[in-house]
Amino acid sequence: MLVSNKQLSVEQQQVLEKLLFRIRAVKKAKKNKYVLMNAPNEKLSEIISLLPGMKSPSVLPLAETGWSSVHSVLSEDEFWDKIEKLKLAGAEGILVVPIEKMIL
């Protein structure tokens, strides 16, 4: 719990806003996971449709022709359901990484 005086100076208010911004970034990150996966290019549309991302998933070509690396963020609430659907859609080598902070 954070308690604030209603009569903070401008400088104190700025410090408080910075603190709140940082707290929110850490709290948001704890509810999400960063996922990376390999996907056959012919399945990209289906796989991308399953991923919300922050704006949209990132797609990078792999050295192996016909494959791409797909990166996205999944919320903890829908994580396992989405992972199962991604595997069925053809995603392979799925890596899950905790997120330390999320700045939106």
Cβ contact 97:75 at 8 Å: no
**Domains in the chain with CATH codes:** 32-98 (3.30.70.120)
Residue 65 is given by DSSP the state T
Task: Give the whole-angstrom CA distance, residue 18 versus residue 14.
Answer: 6
Go through 45-68 and write b for each residue having 16 or more CB atoms within 10 A of its CB, e for each that does not.
eebbebbeeeeebebeeeeeeebb
Query: Quick one: what percent of the chain has pLDDT higher than 90?
Result: 58
Query: Is 53's pLDDT higher than 70?
Result: no
Mean pLDDT, residues 49-76 taken together = 90
pLDDT tops 80 at residue 1: no
Task: State pLDDT tens for residues 2-37.
Answer: 787 888 889 998 998 999 898 888 887 788 899 999
Mean pLDDT of all residues belonging to the chain: 90
